[in-house]
């Protein structure tokens, strides 16, 4: 049987993040990718110039038509952009009892542009996190979701506990943006640390690549902790295989 995973995310013409990157990551795990577009962006390796939302009703329509016919073994959400889209995704997960849900709570682009409307983090906390197998915030996203400022690994643990209280089964805070180290925290009721070193340089699509690798591993039947170890190893290879194609950040040739 073909293993399938679904990504619900934004369209990035550079292909370094969002739907296209998720599909490439799925492919490299031997997982067939389904994709539903939740937002369009105009961007290149130097940053996001513009965003055009996709209407919540049309995100729901894409999901309904697809899922009436096919059942993915995991689901990854990325840039959802609007509260309507967050709620359409949450309703769909419930209606189809979708399992192995990975939420990458995208808030800002790597260059600091907002990739969601103002009330999206609150809607994610209330409506999406209770349905998640794993949520994968970076340091900034974890600060916004938890309301806790993060300077140290101890702060990361406090934020993970707070985020897990919103209902996600597990929380993975990626530490690449913390000064000094790039250790990731997997919190599933207990804290497990995955050690790593920060790769030199600026990269586009790091969070998407990591969470897509995690979703692919869950689709292949791995548990959260093992999937996180696999996704972290996948990132080490992705950093090694990254390349420069434009004037800005490096992209991952996964
Ligand atoms: O890396 C966050 C991200 C997610 N999804 C899309 C993006 C970006 C960053 O630019 O463009 C579509």
Q: For 82-109, write each residue's pLDDT tens digit.
A: 999 999 999 999 999 999 999 999 999 9
Per-residue model confidence (pLDDT) at position 1: 86
Per-residue model confidence (pLDDT) at position 110: 84
Tell me which DSSP letter residue 13 carries: T
> Could you tell me the distance, in angstroms and rounded to a whole number, from the CA of residue 76 to the centre of ligand 1?
13
Per-residue model confidence (pLDDT) at position 180: 73
| Mean pLDDT of the region 32-44 | 97
pLDDT in tens, 63-88: 999 999 999 999 999 999 999 999 99
Per-residue model confidence (pLDDT) at position 64: 98
Cβ 23 vs Cβ 35: under 8 Å: yes
Per-residue model confidence (pLDDT) at position 139: 96
Those residues whose C-beta lies under 8 Å from the C-beta of residue 148, and which sit 6 or more positions away, are 142, 155, 158, 159, 162
Residue ranges of the domains in the chain? 4-240
- What lines the ligand 1 site, CB under 6 Å? 9-10, 12, 17-18, 41, 43, 48, 78-79, 106, 109-110, 115, 205, 207-208
The CA distance from 241 to 25, in Å, is 13
Q: How many CB atoms lie within 10 A of CB 30?
A: 11
Cβ 129 vs Cβ 135: under 8 Å: yes
Per-residue model confidence (pLDDT) at position 111: 86
pLDDT in tens, 112-141: 999 999 999 999 999 999 999 999 999 999
Contacts made by residues 89-93, CB under 8 angstroms, sequence distance 24+: 89/8, 89/38, 89/59, 89/63, 89/128, 90/127, 90/128, 90/131, 91/60, 92/60, 92/63, 92/64, 92/67, 93/131
Picking from 205, 149, 150, 203, the residue whose alpha carbon sits closest to that of residue 179 is 150
- H or E element: which one contains 40? strand 32-44
Per-residue model confidence (pLDDT) at position 176: 85
The CA distance from 245 to 241, in Å, is 13
- H or E element: which one contains 119? none
Highest CATH level, class, for 4-240 = alpha beta
> Could you tell me the distance, in angstroms and rounded to a whole number, from the CA of residue 1 to the centre of ligand 1?
31
Q: What whole-number percentage of the chain has pLDDT above 70? A: 100
Which residue has the least CA distance to atom 6 on ligand 1?
18
pLDDT in tens, 143-193: 999 999 999 999 999 999 999 999 999 999 999 878 778 899 999 999 999
> Could you tell me the distance, in angstroms and rounded to a whole number, from the CA of residue 37 to the centre of ligand 1?
12
Q: 56 phi and psi, to 5 degrees?
A: -55, -40
| Mean pLDDT of the region 210-215 | 98
């Amino acid at each position: 049987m073909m293993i399938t995973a679904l990504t619900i995310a934004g369209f990035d013409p550079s292909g370094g993040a969002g739907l296209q990157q998720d599909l490439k990551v799925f492919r490299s795990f031997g997982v067939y990718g389904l994709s539903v577009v939740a937002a369009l962006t105009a961007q290149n390796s130097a940053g996001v110039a513009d965003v055009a939302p996709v209407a919540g009703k049309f995100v729901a329509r894409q999901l309904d038509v697809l899922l009436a016919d096919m059942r993915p073994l995991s689901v990854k959400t990325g840039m959802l952009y609007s509260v309507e889209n967050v709620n359409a995704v949450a309703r769909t997960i419930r209606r189809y009892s979708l399992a192995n849900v990975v939420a990458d709570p995208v808030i800002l682009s790597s260059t600091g542009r907002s990739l969601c409307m103002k009330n999206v983090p609150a809607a994610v906390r209330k409506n999406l996190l209770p349905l998640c197998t794993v949520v994968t915030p970076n340091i900034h996203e974890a600060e916004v979701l938890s309301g806790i400022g993060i300077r140290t690994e101890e702060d990361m643990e406090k934020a993970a506990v707070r985020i897990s209280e919103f209902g996600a089964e597990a929380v993975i805070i990626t530490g690449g943006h913390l000064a000094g180290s790039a250790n990731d925290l997997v919190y599933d009721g207990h804290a497990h640390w995955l050690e790593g070193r920060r790769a030199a340089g600026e990269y586009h699509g790091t969070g998407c690549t990591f969470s897509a690798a995690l979703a692919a591993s869950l689709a292949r039947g791995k548990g959260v902790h093992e999937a996180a170890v696999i996704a972290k190893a996948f990132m080490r290879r992705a950093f090694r295989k990254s390349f420069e194609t434009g004037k800005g950040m490096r992209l991952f040739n996964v």
